[in-house]
């Protein structure tokens, strides 16, 4: 394997750390409202949501995603203070450490 192939292979295996923050009622569904999550660089937002859901368990899963694994319409994803539109969740990739939040869009009143 040439040097350039090794660099490319190593780059695709790069892990990055996200700081995940859950808010509002989601904190009642888990024992951790903030945590660090190691992911593969280049993971999509959808893959990151799946990793968070897997880590948090069934109650959290039922509240946040539907049976197909799609984020419920009542939630938003924020990456470094930037809203990720629902239609971009499966397309947006993360390549650098960042802050990642799943938040409810509205509360009852």
| Per-residue pLDDT at 107 | 58
Instruction: Kindly state the tokens that stand for 73.
Output: 């319409």
pTM metric for this prediction: 0.83
Percent of the chain at pLDDT above 90? Answer: 74
Under-50 pLDDT residues of the chain: 1-11, 109
| Per-residue pLDDT at 55 | 95
Architecture per CATH, 14-104: Roll (3.10)
Q: Tens digits of per-residue pLDDT, 20-31? A: 999 888 999 998
Beta-bridge partner residues of 34 = 21
Distance CA 86, CA 66 (A): 14
| Per-residue pLDDT at 5 | 42
| Per-residue pLDDT at 8 | 41
């Amino acid at each position: 394997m040439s040097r350039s192939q090794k660099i490319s292979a190593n780059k695709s295996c790069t892990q990055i750390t996200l700081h995940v923050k859950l808010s509002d009622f989601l904190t009642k569904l888990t024992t951790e409202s903030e945590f660090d999550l190691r992911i593969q660089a280049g993971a999509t937002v959808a893959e990151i949501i799946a990793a968070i859901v897997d880590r948090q368990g069934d109650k959290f899963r039922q509240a946040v995603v539907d049976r197909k694994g799609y984020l419920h319409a009542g939630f938003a994803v924020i990456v470094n203070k930037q809203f990720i539109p629902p239609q971009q969740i499966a397309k947006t990739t993360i390549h650098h450490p960042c802050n990642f939040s799943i938040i409810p869009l509205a509360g009852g009143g």
